[in-house]
Amino acid sequence: MNAETRSKIPVALTIAGSDSGGGAGIQADLRTFAFHCVHGTSAVTCVTAQNTLGVVRVDAMPSEAVVAQMQAVVEDIGVQAAKTGMLLNPEIIAAVAQQVETLEIDNLVVDPVMVSRTGAQLIDDDAIKTLRQQLIPQAAIITPNRYEAQILSGFPINSLDDMRAAAQMIHRNLKAKTVLVKGGGMQGNARGVDIWFDGNRLEILTTQQVDTQNTHGTGCTLSAAIAANLAIGKDLLTSVKQAKEYVTTALAYSLSIGKGQGPVGHFFPLLRN
């Protein structure tokens, strides 16, 4: 890559929390951006003390600090795409939503981090309300997991049909432009199947099911890979399909570290032997 090409490298921004265990959050996002040869920038929203067994403590950043990070990055460097992850509280969500509008951030991927794969609620009810009202309508795509889709649609999800109905309802009721309901938390044949709905087209996205308990960070990795592909200039559906392929490979190379759910292997596909 010569100097001229390097000066045109795509840039993506993650607005998310830190995971001390390195499996999810900004750590997963920045590795994913780097894997895609996209320069990664970040606005840290909170710091979690976390490992493969769960979240022990969360400390929020002041919303003004999150705003300052977003402004510093966008006003100087510029970004072609952004993703949000754990935004934690209503003040941070409202501030991020305001800045997305003011800074005219395009290609926004909202991973509405509310509930972990294990079913634990990560943000409070006021934060969920602010997310629905202020941020989701600005997203190019939102990527709820099974439990988040249950909260956003208001009904239980136990089958592919339920996932389909939830994607359509979230699109209609929340003015979300495109919805991807993720199936990592489903059982049986629906595990690892995702549903895409953009108001016209409904797609069932499948890859191989990977049999591993080391799935920590799959949602962050998927949304970061979508943002990276959008920053490169790919269209939305291609970005999602390729991001899903990447997550599947990273799952196949996931890491058995810690005593609980280990992280996916972001760079390990490079070490195939």
Ligand X SMILES: Cc1ncc(COP(=O)(O)OP(=O)(O)O)c(N)n1
Give catalytic residues, as residue numbers: 182, 215, 217-220
Pinpoint the alpha helices (H) of 77-198.
90-102, 125-130, 146-153, 160-174
Which DSSP helix (H) or strand (E) runs through 108? strand 108-110
Binding letters toward ligand X, positions 42-81, x by CB under 6 A: ------x-x-------------------------------
- Whichever of 66 and 226 has its CB closer to ligand ADP, that residue is 226
By the rule CB under 6 A, 251 interacts with ligand X: no
Distances (CA, A) of 205 to 23, 127, 234, 241: 24, 30, 17, 7
The site that binds ligand ADP (CB under 6 A) totals a number of residues, namely 19
Binding-site member from 133, 138, 209, 242 for ligand ADP (CB under 6 A): 209
DSSP code, position 133: I
Binding-site member from 82, 244, 255, 266 for ligand ADP (CB under 6 A): 244
By the rule CB under 6 A, 218 interacts with ligand ADP: yes
**CA dist., res. 104 & res. 98, Å (int):** 10
Binding-site member from 10, 17, 90, 262 for ligand X (CB under 6 A): 17
User: CB atoms < 10 A from the CB of 5, how many?
Assistant: 8
By the rule CB under 6 A, 183 interacts with ligand X: no
Helix, strand, coil in percent for the chain, rounding step 5: 45, 20, 35
From the centroid of its chain, how far is CA 179? Answer: 12
DSSP code, position 32: H
Kindly indicate which of the ranges 19-27, 32-40, 123-131, 166-174 contains the residues binding ligand X, using the contact rule CB under 6 A: 19-27
Residue 73 CB, shortest distance to ligand ADP, in Å, is 24
| Residue 47 one-letter amino acid | V
Binding-site member from 22, 144, 192, 217 for ligand X (CB under 6 A): 217
What is the phi-psi region of residue 207: left when phi exceeds 0, alpha when psi lies from -120 to 50, beta otherwise?
A: beta
Enumerate residues 2-41 that contact ligand ADP by CB under 6 A. none
**CA dist., res. 168 & res. 182, Å (int):** 14
Residue 56 CB, shortest distance to ligand X, in Å, is 11
By the rule CB under 6 A, 144 interacts with ligand X: no
By the rule CB under 6 A, 84 interacts with ligand X: no
Residue with tokens 């493969």: 52
> Site residues (CB under 6 A) for ligand X?
16-19, 24-25, 48, 50, 85-86, 113, 116-117, 215-220
